[in-house]
Amino acid sequence: MDVDIGIRKDLQPQYTGEEIAVFLILNYLQNDKNENLFISVDAIGYFLTGKFIDSQIDKNLIKGIKKGFEGLKKEEDVSILDQNRNNYIINSKSCRVDTKKNNFIIVHLWEIQKIFSSLGAYGFNVLRFFVNIIGTINGNSKSWHMTQDDMVLS
């Protein structure tokens, strides 16, 4: 399934790779019907990599996800209502991108998973680089996007 996931263009430069990764997955999972989003570090890891993560093998990935949550909470860009170890309750509205008001960057879930499935925890830096690149491509509309496959062919 090809789903558009967005991040506000004005926030993206200040975010670390960990914060970008967590925010993109939260944006993907939120919906207008639910006020709160119940999520765990393991679930974020699953959506990043496309597979279940192992707490022994994927320690650096887990640390990166936790660091992403901490950064988003510190910046107050995502409203974390409650936390119990690796489980979070998040206000869904804080994960939304207003596509009518803000300029935003589109990333597809398969692109995120392609990066993390081959790079693991190193994927945070590559994802940030990828988002920075696609954020410079289109200046004529409110959304910026070019797939990895299109970049290779260009």
Q: pLDDT tens, 16-41?
A: 999 999 999 999 999 888 899 999 99
**Helices within the chain (DSSP H only):** 17-29, 41-49, 59-75, 109-119, 123-134, 148-153
- Distance set, CA 95 to CA 52, 139, 147 (Å): 23, 24, 23
This prediction's pTM: 0.86
pLDDT at 2 over 60: no
> Looking at the DSSP assignment, which residues form a beta bridge with residue 83?
88
pLDDT, tens only, 68-81: 999 999 988 899 99
| Ranges of each domain in the chain | 4-153
